[in-house]
Structure 1
Amino acid sequence: MKKKLTLLLLVVLLTGTLLAGLLPMSFIRSRYIEEVENRLLDNAKLVEGFLLEEVDEETLQRRVLSIGEVLDARITIVNENGRVLADTAMGEDGFENHLNREEIQESLQGQVGRSVRVSESVNEELLYVAIPRYLSDGSIQVVRLSLSLSEIQAINQQMLTYVLISIGAGVILASILGYRFINKFLEPVKKLKETSREIAKGNLNRSLEVSSNDELGELSETFNEMRVQLKHSFEEMEDQNVKLQALLTSITNPIIAVNPKKEIILFNPAAETLFETKGEAVYGKHILEVVRDHTLEERVEEIFDQNRETQMEWELKYPSKRHLKVNTSLIRVPKDPNRSLGIVASIEDLTEMKKLETMRSDFVANVSHELKTPLTSIKGFVETLKSGEVEEEEQRQRFLGIIEIEAERLTRLINDILTLAEIESHGKSDKEASIDVQTAIESSLDIIRPIATAKNIQISVEVEEDLPKIQGKDDWFKQMLINLLDNGVKYTPESGEIELKAYTQKGRVYLRVKDNGLGIPKADVDRIFERFYRVDKGRSRKVGGTGLGLAIVKHAVRSLNGHIEVKSKEGEGTEFTANFPSDKGQ
């Protein structure tokens, strides 16, 4: 603004100075030409009087020269045909015809001819005045006097120099005085700008101090009153926002609010987690841009149309499949209940509940089925033996062997159910207990090796020396390892190989069990840790599996704060890798 005011001041000064200098120059030139013109006209009449008698051209030339010396002006005599008869500036070659000269034409018509132009004869700007001279024979001659305007040009040049000097001095003086004046004038504006910036940054304690009795002083007082009111409003708003934010953060259910345009105006942290996004990135966006499902958008539209609250169950497919219960309420204006500012939706995630219900139902059905099959078999063979229909000892012993096998199967199933229930009920393993990984591996191998030897399966072991201990329950760790090794033996053909490696990496203990057995189809890899899930149900029962071994592995690993991954390719084998935090890594 300072530059603009300074520039404006200089423009006004220059304009005024130029006008003040150029207008007088134009006036002086005009007056000068008028005076010279009148003088030339008088002299022209005087010359006409001196030339009353008619003489030859030579005599006329001598007289014109003598008169010209007295009058200090150029004198030219032209006949009616435009030929120059005499001229004070006549050379040996004479002059070209002057008939087309403006002043000559006017004079031949009986008027006083006037013109200002650059003379082609003497090559300078001249003022011409011509009057008619009537001869006795009825012909007309023109008496023309001219005078150079170099004097007025010199005067104008001198005046222009003075004007330019005045402009330069004025600009310097105006710049000095204008700079001080503008600085003083803009000082309150500068303070207002600085204070406004501080307030824009959130510093509402900064007041504007301008000691002036004019409009700027009134503006200062009004600005300070506005600042106080703004500070008070901000404090109230901030207090309400803190309370609202604390409330929304403490609510575990996702909360979403939209305005009548279906643009998001509220999105709490639980909603960010559910839809895997950030609240800052969703505000102002259409609900479909964030919740990529038409179901909720259609329900919001329906609520706006019917102006009523509702609830629904909703199957969310993106970003992950979830089963939700949505309660929607209109945001009403207290003073105008018929008007709504938007809709708020409270979302309850029923996924885990539905999953638990399904798991419980499936578990009961699976346990019932798994118990019913061996019990039916046992009951059938017992009834056959009791009936006395089996007389051969060999057949009776075979039936008793089948009963024993089914009873053992029931025992394993019940033991696995009890083990799984124990791990799930305790949740996390005892943090005060510790596991000697190397000892646990040796104990587990003592149990598995006889089974592997019976199938001619070789178990190669590679254990890093001085493995750190793991916090947790030793029995659960052994059960996990035994189940992994047993799973490998069951699904590895005879003469196969199982690799067992234990090592440390980045403060964690890694345990890897790899076989070259049947492998797991890609479609089944993600489900092998589910209870009673079998890739090949017929083969699983044939090898004596209960369907709970890998479920026990998963829960045992979790109880030890570990993580397990599985890689498998059908026909090439399976690799399980579990890792746990070590004592040294804590």
Structure 2
Amino acid sequence: MQRKILIAFFIIMLLGILLSGFLNLTLIRTSYMDELESRLISNARLLERVVIDRGDSLTHEDLQTIAIEYGQRINLRITFIDYRGEVLADTLIDPDSVENHYDRPEITTAYEGEIGKAVRYSTTINEEMLYIALPVDFDTLELKVIRLAVNLQQIKEINQKLYNYIGVSILFGFFASLTLAYRYIRKIMEPIYEMTEVSKKIAEGDLRRRVDVSSDDEIGLLANNFNNMADRLKTMIDKLSDNNTKFKALLTSIINPIIAVDNMHHIILINPAAEKLFEVKAEDAMGKHIIEIIRNSTLEDRIKDIFENHQETQMEINIQDPEERILKIYTNLIKLENDPTRVIGIVTLLEDVTEMRKLEKMRSDFVANVSHELKTPLTSISGFVETLKSGTIEDEDTKMRFLDIIDIETERLTRLIDDILTLSEIENNSTKSIRSETYTTEAINEVTEIMRPIADGKKIDIITEVEGNLPIIYGNRDWFKQMLINLLDNAIKYTPQGGRVQINAYQKYNHVVIVVKDSGLGIPKNELPRLFERFYRVDKARSKKVIGTGLGLAIVKHIVLAFNGRIKVNSEVGKGTEFTIIIPTKIN
């Protein structure tokens, strides 16, 4: 700002000096020219008197003598011209060599009876001249005009001196005025500099800074108002900071995701829970359209309805990004405190009900499946019992066959109930089960020996490749053996006679890897994601051929999770299935 004021001051000062200088120069030049014209006219009239006094005896030679003599005395060029424009005598040149002057502007004016004046470049002597032409009436020599001319070189020299004086005045005035202006403006600007510096510190967060200016002028009043403003600003910011801290603490403590949008559907607030849910940072989400975060057209339509109808609502939506989820959404309008009729946005509270809905579906499916699985053997048992009670069956072999069927169905019910209880126990006690040491190699060998007779009955070879000193794992030993039994039992069931089942176990880094691979029927790729669900069967034809409760792999999955491990399955129809279990050897 100081530079701008100095530049403006310099321009004004320069314009003033230049304007006054050029006005003075013009005035001096005009005055000088007027005085010079008056002198030429006076001298022309004197020459007119001299010529008249000489009378009719005056010859051309006399005129030439007068022109030269008087021209040298008064330092002027004198020219006598007749009515035709012919030069009769001239101070500087021979009249015979001079061209006709009839068309000269000053001569033309003189012929009209007025004093002619002209400033022009003389082609005769190659100099700029001031001409005064005085009309006379001297019939003896046909003399009609006495013209006097003076060289303007002198006025050029005067103008040059004036230019020099003005230039020196401008330079001196510039430096003198600039020095004074700089000191004066700097003194004026010091409080402004201080206020600028203080305002910068306040903007950087130092709200304790104040301006120290003691003056009774407008600057002092401005400084006082600035300090008052800073005091009020500090009070308001402290209050806002306190409220903001409380708000952030509240917002962070809320476990449900919260997103607020303005009337343009741009995000103005997002809490940590929402950041985690949508895998986005607050600084990246702020200002973006909500659809860029929650990619769901239904939500967009509902937000439009809320703004148009000013109605608060709740709904459930399915989102696919960043992963498939079911969200329950509660929306509330954001209204101005001093104008409740004006809506400036919507705050949205989201509840992730994905697991809840999955559990509800699993519970519903489980009840339906259990009912179905229990109903089938119970119906069979009930039917055969009624038949036996009716006494219509007298053949003992038939009775025994019916009783065998009842016994088989009873065993099936027993296995089903045992599996349900086992699965329930694993689910409820996986986190608090006794984590004892399990010798991996020993447990695998024991299970292999238990299952070998069953495999031999189907002429299936069990091939084992187990490292001799596998590390100890920690968890329920019985569950670990149950997991292996279920996997081997499944492999044997779905492997045709003459096939083989292979068990590999080895250590990789800090994990024990167990692979159970069969050469059985295989599983279609589209069935693999649901393979570990309760009572899920790959297909009806496969289920009819194999007796089972449909809970074996569900039990395996939950046992693996109880050991903090993970399970993978690869399969190809007609070539067999491979289960891979990876269990950590360290206690987590």
1:551 to 550, 554, 557: 554
1:424 matched residue in structure 2:
427
Deviation of the 1:425 alpha carbon: 0.2
* Structure 1: distance between partners of 2:161 and 2:12: 24
Match of 1:502 in 2: 506
Name the CA shift for 1:18/1:567 in 2 (closer, same or farther; >3 Å).
Answer: farther
Q: Which moved more, 1:143-152 or 1:376-385?
A: 376-385
Equivalent residues of 1:259, 1:341 under 8 A apart = yes
Cα separation, partners in 2 of 1:365 and 1:2, compared to 1, 3 Å = same
Q: 2 CA distance for matches of 1:31 and 1:336?
A: 78
**Per-residue CA shift, 1:116-171, capped at 9, x if unaligned?**
22222333322111112323169553222111221222222222223223333333
Deviation at 1:104, TM superposition (A): 1.8
Alpha-carbon distance, 1:34 to partner: 1.4
Distance 1:448 1:176 in 2: 108
State the 1:531 CA deviation.
1.0
Q: Which letter does structure 2 place at the counterpart of 1:235?
A: D
Q: What does residue range 45-444 of structure 1 map to in structure 2 within 5 Å?
A: 45-52=45-52, 53=55, 57-90=60-93, 94-136=97-139, 141-259=144-262, 263-284=266-287, 287-288=290-291, 290-293=293-296, 295-299=298-302, 302=305, 309=312, 311-319=313-321, 321-331=324-334, 342-378=345-381, 389=393, 391=395, 405-428=408-431, 430=433, 433-444=436-447
Confirm or deny: 8 A CA contact 1:428 1:561 kept in the other structure. Answer: no
The gaps in structure 2 that reach 5 residues or longer are none
Describe the shift of the 1:484–1:101 C-alpha distance in structure 2 as closer, same or farther (beyond 3 A).
farther
**Residues 197/472 of structure 1: CA separation in 2 closer, same or farther (3 Å cut):** farther
CA distance in 2 between counterparts of 1:327 and 1:203 reads 41
Conserved 8 A contact 2:299-2:317: no
Taking structure 2 as the reference length, the TM-score comes to: 0.85
Distance 2:366 2:295 in 1: 34
In 2 relative to 1, CA 302–37 (structure 1 residues): closer, same or farther, beyond 3 Å? same
> Quick one: distance in 1 between partners of 2:319 and 2:494?
36
Rounded Cα–Cα distance in structure 1 between residues aligned with 2:500 and 2:100: 133
1:222-267 CA-partner distances (Å, limit 9, x unpaired): 1121122122222222222222222233233344445556554444
- 1:221 is paired with a residue whose SS is helix
- Asked if 1:583 is matched to 2:581, the reply is no
1:167-187: CA deviations, max 9, x gaps? 333333444443333333222
Q: How many residues align structurally?
A: 581
| Distance (whole Å) between structure 2 residues aligned to residue 175 and residue 466 of structure 1 | 96
> In angstroms, what is the RMSD of aligned CA positions?
3.6
What do residues 437-471 of structure 1 show as CA deviations (whole Å, max 9, x unaligned)? 444443444344555564545646364x8655444
1:188 CA drift (Å):
1.5
AA of the residue aligned to 2:35: E
- Aligned letter for 2:429? H
Residues in 2 aligned to 1:459 and 1:92: alpha-carbon distance in whole angstroms? 145
Instruction: Return the letter of the residue paired with 2:91.
Output: T
Separation in 2, partners of 1:280, 1:188: 39
Q: Which moved more, 1:242-251 or 1:332-341?
A: 332-341
Letter aligned with residue 524 of structure 1: E
Aligned CA distance change for structure 1 residues 46 and 575 (closer, same or farther; 3 Å) = farther
> What is the rounded CA distance, in whole Å, between the counterparts of 1:72 and 1:65 in structure 2?
10
What is the TM-score normalised by the length of structure 1? 0.86
Q: Which residue of 2 is the match for residue 2 of structure 1?
A: 2
Distance 1:375 1:432, change over 3 A: closer
Contact between 2:2 and 2:189, CA under 8 Å: does it hold in 1? yes
Secondary structure of the 1:51 match is helix
- Over the matched positions of the two proteins, sequence identity in percent amounts to 48
Q: 1:167 to 1:273 in 2, by over 3 A?
A: same
Q: Structure 2: how far apart are the matches of 1:112 and 1:501? A: 134
* Consecutive unaligned residues in structure 1, runs of 5 or more: none
1:365, distance to aligned residue in structure 2 (A): 1.5
Q: Distance in 2 between matches of 1:422 and 1:23?
A: 112
Q: CA offsets, 1:45-84, max 9 Å, x none?
A: 2233333456555553343222221121122233333333
